[in-house]
Amino acid sequence: MAASPRRRFGWLRSATTLAAAVGIATVGLTVPAGAATPNPMAHPERDWMGSTIAAHEGQRVTITPKLAPGGLPGLDVSHWQGTINWTTVKNQGAKFAYIKATEGTTYRDPNFSANYTDAYYAGLVRGAYHFAQPASSSGAAQADYFAAHGGAWSKDNQTLPGMLDIEYNPNGSTCYGISQAAMRTWITAFLNEYHAKTTRWATIYTTTDWWTTCTGNTSAYAGNDPLDIARYSSSVGTLPAGWGFYTFWQWADGGTFPGDQDVFNGSAARLLALANNTP
């Protein structure tokens, strides 16, 4: 995602079963001494879905709308987009949106309420996302904060399951200074707690490179959690282990809609089914 200030003012297994699949416990994460960066949340106002990708993968490519992949078009935004006219976005063809709600356990996006409410009234199916900070607090604590500050879910035809945005560390070492096993523990705790709070399994947003590097390319979550893959290219490329298909694809960092350009891999009926947690 280009970092221009103008653009960026902006599916039940039990916890025990999931932990066994991963080979880890579901207790809260203890970060090894000295592993965290001095300030793990140095600038949450500058963190959004894909904000770290260009620096690590060289993916900063705005693709023209005519090259958009097949699927239902959508977008993801944060406060960096400033005030958004969601009726215009809807009229331009957007069917869904993911909107930044929280980061860590202290930061709430200042434009979240306006974006979330206005997108709803414009008729988009929308969901909230949480920018993960695994070095600052446990996965369970961050899931609690997210669920209480925008990430809750209701079966109302327009609310997607919350999304865990887990990508490169914007403030230091790629994997936040913690091991692959510890990262899996953190993710498991977040997903289990979010499910306990909302009855939904969160969508996971990531890149294949980060997932392989920082989780050991675990396939433990593919059975429950829809995948939102970030890849700014004309093809989606290799997916993380376990996922035979993506549910969402963030395919460009700019285009027709404000923020990032996304597609849903299915029909309007399937998007509604995902929103309402129905077959």
Q: What's the confidence (pLDDT) of residue 172?
A: 82
If one compares 80 and 271, the residue with the highest pLDDT of the two is: 271
Closest CA to 265 of 224, 219, 228, 234: 228
Domain boundaries, the chain: 5-276
Give the residue-averaged pLDDT of 166-192. Answer: 94
> Could you report the per-residue pLDDT of 35-56, keeping only the tens digit for each?
444 467 666 555 656 656 755 6
Band the pLDDT of 19: cuts 50, 70, 90: very low
138-165 average pLDDT score: 98
Tokens of 143: 């899931």
Q: How confident is the model at residue 171 (pLDDT cuts 50, 70, 90)?
A: confident
Q: Are 248 and 226 in contact (CB under 8 A)?
A: yes
- Structure-block tokens of residue 265: 């891999």
CB-CB contact of 131 with 40 (8 Å): no
Q: What homologous superfamily does CATH list for 5-276?
A: Glycosidases (3.20.20.80)
Percent of the chain whose predicted confidence (pLDDT) is above 70: 77
Contacts of 217 (CB under 8 A, 6+ apart): 211, 240, 241
Q: What CA–CA distance (Å, rounded) separates 241 from 273? A: 24
pTM value? Answer: 0.81
- Which residues form the catalytic set? 76, 165, 167
- Tell me what pLDDT residue 52 has: 65
Residue 24 has what pLDDT?
Answer: 30
Q: Above 80 in pLDDT, residue 3?
A: no
pLDDT at residue 82 is higher than 90 = yes
Q: Which of 14-23, 68-77, 124-133, 160-169 has the lowest mean pLDDT?
A: 14-23
pLDDT confidence of 233, banded at 50, 70, 90? confident
Q: How many helices (H) and strands (E) does the chain have?
A: 9, 9
> Does the pLDDT value for residue 137 go beyond 70?
yes
**Mean pLDDT computed over 103-119:** 97
